[in-house]
Structure 1
Amino acid sequence: MAVSRSLRIVAAAVVALPGLALAAGPDAQAKPHGEIPVRLLALNDFHGNLEPPTGSSGRMVDETGATVEAGGAVYAAAWMKQLEDENTLKVAQGDAIGATPLISAAYHDEPTLEFLEHLGVTASAVGNHEFDEGYDELVRLINGGSHPVDGDSPAGPWDGTDFDYLGANVLLDDATKLPDVDGFEVLKRVPPGQLKKLLAKHGVPALPPVAVREVNGVRVGFIGAVTETTPTIVTAAGIEGLTFNPVVESAKFGSELLSWMGVRAQVLLVHEGDQVTAGQSPDACSTAPDPDGSAGAGTTIATDVDPEIDLILSGHSHQAYVCTVTDPAGNPRLYSQGGSFGRVISQADFKVDRKSGDVIRSTVTVDNHVVTRDIAPDPATAAFVQDWRDRVAAVANQQVGTITADLNRAQTAVGESVLGNVIADAQLEATRTGGGAQVALMNPGGIRADLAFAPDGVVTYGEAFAVQPFSNLMQVVTLTGAQLDALLEQQWTAARTAVLSPSSTLRYTATLSAPFGDRVSDITIDGVPLDPAASYRVAANNFLVGGGDGFSEFLNGTDLWSGPIDLDAFTAYLTAHSPISPPARDRITAG
């Protein structure tokens, strides 16, 4: 029998706050003054992977350089139990939800949030994907309540998270008072006059900026922040009414709040990180600079945030590393990240001076533990995951089509992929009638999994969902030929490459040795050379049409038309054209 939700929550509360019990008991009075140990166990970018992730998403390089199978809720929970002690607090760095497998997404990620409660997570930074369904939906998940369209999940009414979601740099555009979101109660510890001054200077946060926890009789403060690029990687509807301030500025705001509460031990949970040199140990400082040679966004933040902050635990880039930076006061400060999908748990240990309440920097260590699958899975979590697997099975196992071979995301030198081509063709077909689309473009970041032929070529709804989990709306806009050319040039910049998968109606040459802004030539639509002055109907998901991934040229489009959800377009195409064979990757020619 599965463990009941109420029993899981009670168990999580006991596990999550062992320090409180110790502080209240007689043994706590016997603890010597001096250095008090604290352990943090951190998880970032879980993305609803309740089941063990597959393919490359389920593998990790360990400390010996070996590539091992890793991740999955049952193993993450088992590793947490091995690593925790009486000094432990558990935290997260965002993107726990959003872009999730069907087992979580089918019920608006309530299963994943319940799992984090079961783990005993006490505070988390908000990630960009927490905004995928909009601010109001995030508030519902935090506070509790039924989904406004789908109602309650099979588990019953949702009662909100047992942990605090933090976002010091997420501001409400039009607010004169703090919103009704669980977690803001902590700000009552700040003198009212000082709080008013800080809010007047910083703005009104949409989410609690900080949380304070006590362990072993000492207080630890957590500041949460999300990547400043959120407006460019989340749909416009998802961030409506919100502003995302610079992280460094907002972290100082959070630090000042904690200082006014008398909390000196301060940890920044930030959903921003760096890329790395591949194949390194998860404990190596393998961070790589940006293409222009500058330090990565995560390293910049870790270096520049207020010196009162003692440790930075990061996320967003799905990499694992442990680095030391120098803070603005000239002192060393640790900065780390723990991969993604539950494949790594970051263990941070430090000691707090009981008299000053501050972290003793020389005692801070971080160890990234790969969540291998060679230990016994946690029984309670196994029962919990099986409950949700059973609930979603009827939907997930429905056949939507067949394929003759693998459809994967592997790209040519100029960025074209088999699966991307299929998706673009599906989107074109879904938007021709009504939208009048002539071409379709699909962003590579929106393709989240390959479609494998094994074992029988059948594609289920669950597998199709894994490929396109965002439920973006298909839209069509009118662009001139010159604007479409400019849009295609935006695929390559000094900061990133993001080649859009083209439908079969669009072909061009890409010369990667040419300067940025002058790489695309010989564009044809339905075999006819592009006319810079003519108008063309271009289809894409609403994320791209809203200027996402830096494709600002879409914002110049006119005559907006909205159609089906992208997943519906994909599944309809699979059903109508099965069996589907891998199309040639010849739509973009290397110049």
Structure 2
Amino acid sequence: MFTFRRKRRAVAAVVGAAALAAATLAVGAWSADGRPGHGHGRQVDLQLLAINDFHGNIEAASSLTYPGVDGPVGGAEYLATHLEQAREGERYSTTVAAGDLIGASPFLSAVFDDEPTIESLNEMGVEVSSVGNHEFDAGFDELNRIIEGDEDFEGADFPYLGANVVDEATGEPVLDPYWIKRFKGGVKVGFIGMTLEGTGDIVSQSGIEGLEFLDEVETADQYARELERKGVNAIVVLLHEGGVPVAEDTGHDCESLDGTGTGMSGPIVDIAETMSPLVDVVITGHTHNEYVCSVPDPAGNPRMVTSASSYGKVFTQIDATYDKRTKDIVRSTVTGSNTVVTRDVEADGDQTDILEEYGPLAEEAGSRVVGHIAEDITRGATRAEEFPLGSLIADAQLWNTAGADEGGAEIAFMNPGGVRADLLYDQGTPGEATYGEVFTVQPFANYVVTLDLTGAQILAALQQQLPSEDRETTLVLQVSEGFTYTWDETREGTDQIVADSLELNGEPIVADQVYRVTVNSFLADGGDSFAAFAEGRNLLYGELDVDAFEDYIAEFGTADAPLEAPELGRITVVS
């Protein structure tokens, strides 16, 4: 069983409030002579440093905070310094990642197709990463460009692994399934990289045509055996799937910020409990949570499962003893800690150079004033509710496609996960909405698509907001003005969506009548498990969603009459 202890770090960066986030998972320290090994004899000290869900947050934004820490955190300049300090004196150290390093990025990175982020990670010393779902936002061809580079961009210096991303026709992986870190002295560690099996449901289908995303456990087991046959017994899985810390005791011995043990739920629990015992450590992501947990493997032995929050606010350090005779990690020696990336360290010069190169170019492109807003227009606290910014985007897409030549749209729907930031009154010059701010709200470069759906198909799409076998969470579609319905939480299952409550401009939606509906191309492909939209007919593709939003703000958000946040109530909730 794992036990917990606080870990004192000699690194000057981890001081004061930042120490609150250093949760260390440890078991009885073991070495042949009673002291940790440093590369002498049969045992050596192995160090893994890990990040996940970076999402292009290279800039030290003031909005990045962490509970219990005074002041903002994160930023590539400071993350790089923290990592370098953690590596000091470590001969057997490697820096790894668990996906979503790019995609859904702030303007500074996104406007340059995330090339600044890849350059930043190269300089930061990242040696390997799994792909995540957001690596496929712009399609597999663009991911290949990011990896390989082109005439103007050198690409990633590290391999992007995708063991469970295969060609449908051949069943063979289209990315490297694993990578072996070969240290001096014959020390070898194998890394298997995967994205979540459900990636195909949450990215645009047009960009992943011909690809299949396989079961995480079966894939990990397959390549763990292959690594073992190659004489690599120390195996780490980098998996872009994760869990959620919970207050109740689930038997997983997670560590919370206040030092008390907590439990764990979510998809990673079953995955980690059934994945081959050949795997020594599982480094995860996707859920944007911070945890260091113990999940027993199928042999009943404790196995560390970690995640480092998101956006570069936290990094994970895993320490272990590697036995040269067995060529394996001594599982009982594994310790782990999560450390907040405070900004009380010297900024890394290479990262500063990258920011100084791209910053002025991004500022010039992003500072253009699009229109004016009268107040904050915000997202919801969760994706399971109606919120003003979602309504505004749905209104913009309806307006953009309502004309006969543009699609003849009558209704628009927006997926809540596609709204990535608030539109704030005081973000820059009060009341001005800039292109950079608008882009940050909708960074995915989806197109607006208008299609035919019957009233019955619209009802089906609304019912697909509820949890199902394909998706565990509730996602509330944001709806355009004029469309209303009732969500009765006192009912069971899909009956919560009251069928006879659907109305368009006060008139009932008729089951067999055809309506012109606008969604983004992600939803049109059935993204987020909204399969009903993929049944649409007579598709007409329009402009980019961010351009439609920009045009709407310019038209209706003048200096004399700035845009106000739409009132809620298009969805009537009965509870």
Q: TM-score with structure 1 length normalisation?
A: 0.84
Match of 2:49? Answer: 41
**Where do 1:423-462 residues align within 5 Å?**
423-433=393-403, 434-454=406-426, 455-462=429-436
Give the match for residue 164 of structure 1. Answer: 159
Distance 1:343 1:269, change over 3 A: same
CA deviation profile, 1:195-227 (whole Å, cap 9, x unmatched)? xxxxxxxx3110000101123521111000100
| TM-aligned CA distance change 1:337 to 1:503, over 3 Å | same
Alignment partners' CA distance in 2, 1:314 and 1:475: 34
Aligned to 1:27: none
Q: How many residues align?
A: 514
Instruction: Give the residue type in structure 1 aligned to 2:215.
Output: P
Aligned 8 A contact 1:431 1:437 in 2: yes
Q: 1:370-422: CA deviations, max 9, x gaps?
A: 11223232233122212111122211111111101000012699711111111
Aligned partner letter, 2:508: P
3-state DSSP class of the match of 1:554? helix
For residue 519 of structure 1, what is the amino acid of its counterpart? Answer: Q
Q: Which residue of 2 aligns with 1:114?
A: 119
Aligned partners of 1:466 and 1:436: how far apart in 2?
A: 28
Partner of 1:245: 214
Distance 2:259 2:408 in 1: 52
8 Å contact from structure 1 (residues 283, 320) kept in 2 = no
Residue number in structure 2 paired with 1:76: 79
What letter matches 1:564 in structure 2?
Answer: E
| Aligned twin of 2:204 | 235
Residue 401 in 1 paired to residue 365 in 2?
A: no
Q: 1:169-318 maps to which residues of 2 (within 5 A)?
A: 169-175=164-170, 203-217=171-185, 218-277=187-246, 280-281=256-257, 286=262, 288-289=264-265, 296-318=266-288
Aligned letter for 2:85? Q
Give the aligned partner of residue 105 of structure 2: 100
**Pair 1:328–1:590, CA change in 2 (3 A):** same
1:191 alignment counterpart: none
Distance (Å, rounded) in 1 between the aligned partners of 2:111 and 2:549 = 17
1:510 aligns with 2:510: no
Deviation, structure 1 residue 283 = 7.7
Residue of structure 1 in register with 2:30 after alignment: none
Alignment correspondent of 1:465: 439
Q: Residue 419 of structure 1: which of 389, 392, 408 is its match? A: 389
Distance of 2:237 and 2:383 partners within structure 1 = 39
Counterpart secondary structure, 1:477 = strand
The aligned counterpart of 1:372 is 342
Q: Equivalent residue for 1:352? A: 322
What do residues 90-138 of structure 1 show as CA deviations (whole Å, max 9, x unaligned)?
0010000111112111221111111111011111001111111111221
Residue 276 of structure 1 aligns to a residue whose secondary structure is: strand
Deviation per CA, 1:242-268, whole angstroms, max 9, x where unpaired? 111101011112212211221111100
Shift in alpha-carbon separation, 1:569–1:262, aligned structure 2, 3 A: same
1:485 lines up with 2:491 in the alignment: no
TM-score by length of 2: 0.86
Q: Cα–Cα, structure 1 residues 130 and 277, in superposed 2: closer, same or farther, change >3 Å?
A: same
Unaligned runs of 5+ in 2: 1-37, 248-254
> Which one has a larger percent helix, Structure 1 or Structure 2?
1
In the alignment, the residues of structure 1 paired with residue 503 and residue 61 of structure 2 have an alpha-carbon distance, to the nearest angstrom, of: 40
Change (3 A) 1:257 1:584: same
1:563 aligns with 2:535: no
- Cα distance in 2 for partners of 1:560, 1:288 equals 43
Give the corresponding residue for 2:478: 501
Q: In the TM superposition, what is the alpha-carbon distance from 1:284 to its structure 2 partner?
A: 6.8
Q: CA deviation at 1:174?
A: 2.9
Distance 1:99 1:323 in 2: 27
**Quick one: which amino acid aligns to residue 436 of structure 1?**
G
Please tell me the root mean square deviation across aligned C-alpha atoms, in Å.
Answer: 1.9
**Do residues 537 (structure 1) and 507 (structure 2) align?**
no
State the alpha-carbon separation in 1 of the partners of residues 523 and 259 from structure 2. Answer: 36
Distance 1:226 1:566, change over 3 A: same
Q: In the alignment, is residue 527 of structure 1 matched against residue 506 of structure 2?
A: yes
Are positions 1:589 and 2:572 aligned together? yes
1:532 Cα deviation (Å)? 1.5
Cα distance 1:436–1:566, how it changes in 2: closer, same or farther (>3 A)? same
Once structures 1 and 2 are overlaid, which stretch shifts more, 317-326 or 30-39?
30-39
> Given the alignment, which residue of 351, 361, 367 partners 2:331?
361
Aligned partner of 1:88 among 93, 102, 107: 93
User: What's the secondary structure of 2:96's corresponding residue?
Assistant: strand
Note the C-alpha offset of 1:276. 2.8
Q: Which residue of 2 aligns with 1:128?
A: 133
The worse-fitting range, judged by mean Cα deviation, of 492-501 and 397-406 is: 492-501
Deviation track 1:289-318 (CA, whole Å, cap 9, x = no partner) reads: 3xxxxxx21122122111111000001111
* Cα distance between partner residues in 2 of 1:405 and 1:329: 57
Please tell me whether the aligned partners of residues 287 and 321 of structure 1 are also in contact (alpha carbons under 8 angstroms).
no
Task: Say if 2:338 is the partner of 1:332.
Answer: no
Q: In the alignment, is the contact (CA less than 8 A) between 1:282 and 1:321 conserved in 2?
A: no
Find the aligned partners of 2:383 and 2:536 in 1 and give their Cα distance.
29
In 1, the alpha carbon distance for the partners of 2:286 and 2:379 equals 21
213-222 vs 407-416, greater mean Cα deviation: 407-416
* 2:347 alignment partner AA: P
Secondary structure, aligned partner of 1:254:
helix
The alpha-carbon distance between structure 1 residues 227 and 53, as it changes in their structure 2 partners (threshold 3 A), is farther
Q: Where do 5+ consecutive residues of structure 1 fail to align?
A: 1-29, 147-156, 176-202, 290-295
**Worse overlay, 486-495 or 390-399:** 486-495
Q: Does 1:60 align with 2:89?
A: no
- Secondary structure of 1:517's aligned partner: helix
Percent identical: 42
Q: Secondary structure, in 3 states, of the residue corresponding to 1:341? A: coil
User: Runs ≥4 in structure 1, deviation > 4 angstroms?
Assistant: 65-68, 282-288, 411-414
Q: Tell me the distance in 2 between the aligned counterparts of 1:423 and 1:456.
A: 21
Aligned partners of 1:508 and 1:524 also within 8 Å: yes
Amino acid aligned to 2:181:
R
Instruction: Give the residue type in structure 2 aligned to 1:452.
Output: L
Task: Name the amino acid aligned to 2:165.
Answer: V
Residue matched to 2:555: 576
Counterpart-to-counterpart distance in 2, 1:283 and 1:93: 25
Alpha-carbon distance, 1:565 to partner: 0.7
Contact in 1 for aligned 2:39/2:45 (Cα 8 Å): no
- Distance in 2 between residues matched to 1:471 and 1:406, nearest whole Å: 24
Structure 1 residue identity aligned to 2:162: G
Structure 1's 562 and 478: CA in aligned 2 closer, same or farther, altered over 3 A?
same
SS at match of 1:312: strand
Out of 104-113 and 118-127, give the one that drifted further.
104-113
